[in-house]
Amino acid sequence: MIEGASAGADSCGSCSDRDCSTSQRKDGESDRDFQERQKLESRLCRIRHKVVVLSGKGGVGKSTVAVNLATTLMLSGKKVGLLDVDIHGPSIPTMPGLDGATIKSCEEGFLPVDVGGMKVMSLGLLLRNPDDAVIWRGPMKMGVIKQFLMDVVWEDLDYLVIDSPPGTGDEPLSVCQIIGQLDGAVVVTTPQKLSAVDVRKSITFCRQLNVPLLGVVENMSGFICPKCGEVTHILSSGAGKSIAEDMGVPFLGSIPMDSEVAEAADKGRVFVRHYASNPTAGIMAAIMSPILALDEKDVLEKPVETGIEKEDKHMRIAIPMAKGKLSMHFGHCEQFALIDVDPVEKKIIGREDVEAPPHQPGLLPPWLAERGANLIIAGGMGQRAQGLFTEQGIDVVVGAPPETPERLVGDYMAGTLRTGDNICDH
């Protein structure tokens, strides 16, 4: 186990979908495997799009494409995470804000580092000595990759961009299998004929794993003269494009070899951000646009909002808690779970746990109203208290069972919440 990682496996409580495969044990799955899968899937289902960046071999610009892709998405207003799982050559720690950064962990796992608004996590930050990975045997590497993927606390993201280990061996295989439902892969190659073999392998690899191919990027495609802007093809050209066409995969475009791309990396700067006026940055942005469109498509597919839906767009449900479940005596609970819900999508979108204030008659309704609650689901509650909540604009549901907040909110949204007697002994 990676030092500092949480030892316990969380059960999935991130949504209300009872039919979700995460909540069902698979045939022959051990307790441990089931718990690990639940933990991983409950983390990953909060990420709307997962894109892996692959290459047949190292040194072709895979990390450069991954970093610039993630940054382009972030600059377009998306919530983005960047995950560097390249066990042998983690290069992302050289990004600004990451050099010298140390990983912090909380009870649930490792916290990604915030780099200019983007969440970044690199295996390199965890390895005290990156050379150690070289001597790790296969199963050990796979174990580290799995543990790492399971233990990063991303929370809600629009995109997670994953910089995979190069090649088509066990390491990228583990990454794709563990992450599971990927939106697709971007395959990076160089223009020489020799790379054709590698790019073919990468495409076949994705097809065998059922990972959709978002497209091929040909990097270092010609040298762009920093003085006159003319492109000279030093290496033979076009291999990435012709293989993509040959194998029926979208060709995303060619990035020239540009001294400022290398300079940006050496200075620990993200090229598309800090060299935005360079024409190569425009080329990169155009290459990334089909990946950005993944999200735009999602947005277009959402139902058109009416004024009423907009008003209802955010709901905050307060649940008095004791020992992780609803406390039957709301006035004496230990804490409140504040569950944010999208009532149109009928989805839980967040949770905040707050310590309950000291017991004082009449204090809770304004205290919860101040924290944005507009509904309280409680076990028992007297008539007077119910009236005080209503005065604060907080609706009240009483007689709910001592269940987890996610379960209660899920049932409430599905219209299946069973309420019993309003047992209140206060």
- Please check whether residue 4 is in contact with residue 103, taking contact to mean a CB–CB distance below 8 angstroms: yes
Supply 40's token pair: 């991983």
- Of positions 133, 149, 249, 255, contacts ligand ADP by CB under 6 A: 255
CA distance 401 to 414: 16
Residue 398 tokens read as 């009483």
d(CA 223, CA 255): 9
- C-alpha dist (Å) from residue 156 to 45, 312, 343: 9, 20, 17
What is the total residue count of the chain? Answer: 426
Q: How far is the CB of 65 from ligand ADP (least distance, A)?
A: 7
Q: Which is nearer to ligand ADP, 274 or 325 (CB)?
A: 274
Check binding of 16 to ligand ADP (CB under 6 A).
no
Q: Which of residues 21, 24, 29, 59 is near ligand ADP by CB under 6 A? A: 59
- Residue 273 or 329: which CB sits closer to ligand ADP? 273
Part in contact with ligand ADP (CB under 6 A); list of ranges 56-64, 76-84, 192-200, 333-341 = 56-64
Q: Which of 171, 198, 258, 406 binds ligand ADP (CB under 6 A)?
A: 258
Q: Does 14 bind ligand ADP (CB under 6 A)?
A: no
CB 379 within 8 A of CB 360: no
Residue 268 lies near ligand ADP (rule: CB under 6 A)? no
What is the rounded CA–CA span in Å between residue 72 and residue 250?
A: 20
Q: Is residue 61 near ligand ADP by the rule CB under 6 A?
A: yes
**Contact residues for 109 (Cβ-Cβ < 8 A; gap 6+):** 5, 6, 150, 151, 152, 153
Quick check: 64 binds ligand ADP (CB under 6 A)? yes
- Of 218 and 406, the one with the shorter C-beta distance to ligand ADP is 218
**Start-to-end Cα distance in the chain:** 48
Please identify, using beta-carbon distances, which residue of 93 and 379 lies nearer to ligand ADP: 93
Site membership for ligand ADP, residue 198 (CB under 6 A): no
Query: What part of residues 91-150 is at the interface with ligand ADP (CB under 6 A)?
Result: 91
d(CA 350, CA 341) in angstroms, rounded, equals 7
> Of the listed pieces 53-61, 173-181, 192-200, 416-424, which binds ligand ADP according to CB under 6 A?
53-61
Please tell me whether residue 184 binds ligand ADP under the rule CB under 6 A. no
CB of 64 to ligand ADP, least distance (A): 3
Total binding residues toward ligand ADP, as defined by CB under 6 A: 18
Distance CA 46, CA 348 (A): 10
Alpha carbon distances (Å) from 199 to 61, 164, 187, 222:
13, 15, 7, 18
**Please, which residue, 45 or 235, has the CB nearer to ligand ADP?**
235
Give the helix/strand (H/E) hosting 118: strand 118-122
Cα pseudo-dihedral 284, 159, 151, 100, rounded to 10? 40
Q: Which is nearer to ligand ADP, 179 or 220 (CB)?
A: 220
Question: Where does this chain bind ligand ADP (CB under 6 A)?
Answer: 55, 58-64, 89, 91, 219-220, 255, 257-258, 261-262, 265
